[in-house]
A = this chain, B = another copy of it.
Amino acid sequence: MSVTSAAADPTGGRPVIPTRGTLRPLGLGEARITGGAWSHRQRVNGGATLDHGRSWMDKMGWTGNFTAVEQGRGSEERRGREFADSEVYKLVEAMSWEVGRSADRIRDREIGELTAMLVAAQAPDGYLNTAFGRPGQRPRYSDLASGHELYCTGHLVQAAVARTRTSGPDDLLGVARRAADQVCETFGPEGMWGICGHPEIEPALVELARLTGEQRYLDQASLFVQRRGYRTLPLHPFGWSYFSDDIPVREAEVLRGHAVRSLYLTAGAVDVAVETGDRELLDAVISQFDRTLARRTYLTGGMGSRHMDEAFGDDFVLPSDRAYSETCASVAAVMVAWRLLLATGEPRYGDLIERILYNVLATAISDDGTSFFYAHTLHQRTPTEDLPPDREQLGFGGGPRAPWFEVSCCLGNIGRTLASLSTYLATANERGLQLHQYADAEVGTRLADGRRVAVRMATRYPDDGTVSVRVTETDGGPWTIALRVPRWAGGAVLVDGDQRRPAAPGTVEVTRDFSVGDEIRLQLPVRPRWTFPDPRIDAVRGCVAVERGPVVLCVESVDQPVPDLDLVRVDPSAEPREAGDGATVAGWFDQPAESGWPYDESAPQAGETTRAALRLVPYHRWARRGPSTMRVWLPLG
């Protein structure tokens, strides 16, 4: 890797730019969402959500922590948890993508102000963390297990990468480079043999290496990945797996422990493997992630089933009613899936991203963009009410959407993902364009041979299954438009002019000498369908779910004639029926006799029964109509 001076990304900015791989990502300037639900969500995010984040971070004193450091004020003034700095950085990252997306001048100025604050707070040697190292605080790097210092630095670096790629180098890149240099000096081959309890510095340093061409950042990330798994962090009550420090990365068989930590580490390991050409490491990580998909992932794409330690459970431990499925774990899973999609071109990673977008990210945020689910239950048994707009939720975890959390990591993660969402729509390779996600969008790039190609996607997907792709630029000669056919979409059809051909799940391609105005249409069979779980998932044995396209549906009590969803039963012999963007299914409510002890020698008899057409709505729409109960998995009668 040769040292080059960092510059704005000519594509408009991309979160991940591998130097090799199967697919090449497109930037904000090459892929733009022009309409539909995601466009609306991007606008809400760019306005209300980022404003909300900024005002709460000011109110909670998290931005003020930097000012206090600059002014040398007492460490006793520091506010928030040890990772509060990272929330400010993630907000800056989200703002940076937003400026790249919408050229928002006010937001641009805001980044400048926040950057000036960081510049002023940074120590002369590059160290920047408001929780450690000042008089009255613990010494720098004295608590690698829980201190989150390198984690915070990682988010600082990611913010600077986003800023530089979208707007060109400025002081923020300087701050990040000095901080990264300080990390490399402290933890390099000759330095302290340490890793951070919470991975994040690993993908950040690789991306900084990609941005700047500095080999030392890649080397340092590689060292951090190599060092993990040898139980060098102090034993945590939740075990070394909590830090993914139980097994070396290339020896593990599946993701485990704290889901966000594990997934951030995995993202970094993919980056290191790709940049160093380490096929063994890449294969190890692919195998772990694929096993995680097959055994430790919710129908929604959510990961991490345990509240206590925010961890993956054992294989097939996927309880609906105590699902944790943290928002941030889904953001992290998108990070991993995107990197693996770029590295391998395998459409299953696009499937996962789609599933997460429609069923976790779309669920996580309120319509007005100012309250958030931290965790995503698939079965709400007692009605919850949203917290009032001025109320912080203590700790983390379950409960309703809240305007703020003591551990408020979801806002920044949602914000940066939504602002950069269009970059996940499509990729290019030497043959043409690959469309991975479907939305009203403009996608275009210059192919390796210099030809400009572009298409306009038009669709009401996922409400409707037809995706129109019209060629808007082409430069002569054949090229390829490839479209992802989701795993669920058996019976899909590709229409190219007069031609109709089946499009099996995976990838369907059209290669020809396109003319501007040419249209191809992918017809995906979006209709409600039953979904059955693997029989090893004990928590949903004897249940079915209903999905419609990529959207998981649910029953919510506010739509049902009997409010107690414990009593719902369905018979999957009849197909679910279309009902707007949801469905209806024939079902009933079965009220068992009460006997005082819930275990009996005879199989339970049907009790008092109320037949009903059960209305299902998209899971992402639940908890938007007042207090309710909800369930995704419906017991068979």
A627 within 8 A of B: no
A394 within 8 A of B: yes
- Given A315-B566, A322-B313, A308 and B535 touching (CB < 8 A)? no
Copies in the complex: 2
Nearest opposing residue in chain B for A379, CB measure? B538
Cβ-defined contact, B604 with A534, below 8 A: yes
Closest Cβ of chain B to A554, distance in Å, is 15
Q: Which residues of B contact A590 (CB under 8 A)?
A: 535
Taking A379-B538, A536-B566 as contacts, is the C-beta distance between A319 and B316 under 8 angstroms?
Answer: no
Residues on the B chain within 8 Å of A540, using CB: 538
Q: Once bound together, how far apart are the Cα atoms of A635 and B540, in whole Å?
A: 12
Q: Of B307, B566, B601, which one neighbours A490 at CB under 8 angstroms? A: B601
Closest to A321 in B: B317
CB-CB contacts of A562-573 with B at 8 A, as 1s and 0s?
Answer: 000011000010
| In the bound complex, CA of A539 to CA of B545 (Å) | 16
Give every chain B residue within 8 A of A621 (Cβ-Cβ).
none
Complex-state Cα separation, A533 to B567, whole angstroms: 14
A sample of 7 more A-B contacts (CB under 8 A), given A293-B596, A541-B542, is A294-B597, A294-B598, A307-B307, A314-B321, A315-B566, A536-B592, A538-B635
**In the assembly, what is the distance between CA of A29 and CA of B51, in Å?**
73
Q: A319-B319, A322-B306, A538-B379 are contacts. A235–B394 as well, Cβ < 8 Å?
A: yes
Contact B535 A604 (CB under 8 A): yes
Q: Is A193 an interface residue (CB 8 A)?
A: no
In this assembly, does A397 line the interface, its C-beta being within 8 Å of a C-beta of chain B?
A: yes
Instruction: List the one stretch of A333-341, A439-447, A524-532 in contact with chain B.
Output: A524-532
A464 interfacial contact with B, CB 8 Å: no
A315 to B379, CA, bound (A): 13
Most buried by B among A539, A567, A599, A601: A599
Known contacts: A308-B308, A308-B397, A604-B535. The answer to whether A596 contacts B290 by CB under 8 A is yes
Residue from B297, B316, B381, B539 within 8 A of A566 (CB atoms)? B316
Instruction: Give Cα A381 to B237, complex, Å.
Output: 20
Q: Are B316 and A598 in contact (CB under 8 A)?
A: yes
Pick 17 A–B contacts, CB within 8 A, sort by A: A294-B598, A297-B598, A307-B307, A313-B321, A314-B321, A314-B382, A317-B321, A320-B538, A490-B601, A531-B601, A532-B600, A533-B599, A534-B592, A535-B604, A536-B566, A538-B539, A542-B542
Q: How far, in whole Å, are A539 and B307 apart by their CA atoms in the complex?
A: 17
| Distance of A201 from chain B, by nearest CB (Å) | 26
User: Which of B238, B319, B595, B603 makes the CB contact (< 8 A) with A322?
Assistant: B319
Q: In the docked arrangement, what's the CA distance between A530 and B603, Å?
A: 9
- The answer to whether B320 and A534 touch across the interface, beta carbons within 8 angstroms, is no
At the interface, yes or no: A264 with Cβ under 8 Å from chain B? no
Chain B nearest CB: distance from A560 CB in Å? 16
Residue A358 CB within 8 A of the other chain: no
Which of these, B293, B348, B598, contacts A295 with CB under 8 Å?
Answer: B598
Q: Which of B530, B539, B596 contacts A319 (CB 8 A)?
A: B539
In the docked arrangement, what's the CA distance between A604 and B533, Å?
A: 8
Instruction: Evaluate contact between B307 and A348: CB separation under 8 angstroms.
Output: no
A493 to chain B, nearest CB (A): 18
**A594 within 8 Å of B (CB atoms):** yes
Contact B598 A534 (CB under 8 A): yes
A395 on the B face (CB < 8 A): yes
A323 vs chain B, min Cβ distance (A):
11
* Complexed CA–CA distance, A529 and B600 (Å): 10
Residues in B whose Cβ lies below 8 Å from that of A307: 306-308
Tell me if A635 and B600 are in contact (CB < 8 A): no
The answer to the question of A543 belonging to the interface, with a C-beta cut-off of 8 Å to chain B, is yes
Docked complex Cα distance between A381 and B597 (Å): 27
User: Which residues of the partner chain B approach A395 to less than 8 Å between Cβ atoms?
Assistant: 237-238
Task: Kindly state the separation between the CA atoms of A600 and B600 in the bound complex, as whole angstroms.
Answer: 32
CB neighbours (8 Å) of A54 from chain B are: none
Asked if A381 and B315 sit within 8 Å, CB to CB, the answer is yes
Known: A307-B308, A488-B601. A536 touches B314 (CB 8 A): no
CA distance A537 to B315 in the complex (A): 21
Chain B: CB-nearest residue to A307: B308
Cβ-defined contact, B322 with A536, below 8 A = no
Q: Give the residue name and chain of the B residue nearest to A593 (CB).
A: B534
A250 within 8 A of B: no
Contacts of A490 in B (CB 8 A): 601
In the complex, are the beta carbons of A294 and B596 less than 8 A apart?
A: yes
**Residues 590 to 637 of chain A near chain B (Cβ within 8 Å):** 590, 592, 594-604, 633, 635
Residue of B nearest to A541 (CB): B542
Residue A303, interface by CB 8 Å = no
Q: Which residue on B lies nearest to A348, using beta carbons?
A: B596
- A545 x B348 contact (CB < 8 A): no
Q: In the complex, what residues of B have CB within 8 A of residue A294's CB?
A: 594-598
Q: State whether B397 touches A541 (Cβ < 8 A).
A: no
Known: A322-B319, A538-B379. Contact between A604 and B314, CB under 8 A? Answer: no
Interface residues of A in 492-538 (CB under 8 A from B): 529-538
Tell me how far the C-beta of A609 lies from the nearest C-beta in chain B, rounded to whole angstroms: 12
**Distance A635 CA – B533 CA, assembled complex (angstroms):** 14
Q: Does A299 touch B at the CB level, under 8 Å?
A: yes
A460: Cβ under 8 A from any B Cβ: no
Q: Let me know if A603 and B635 touch, CB within 8 A.
A: no
Q: How far is the CB of A513 from chain B (nearest CB, A)?
A: 36
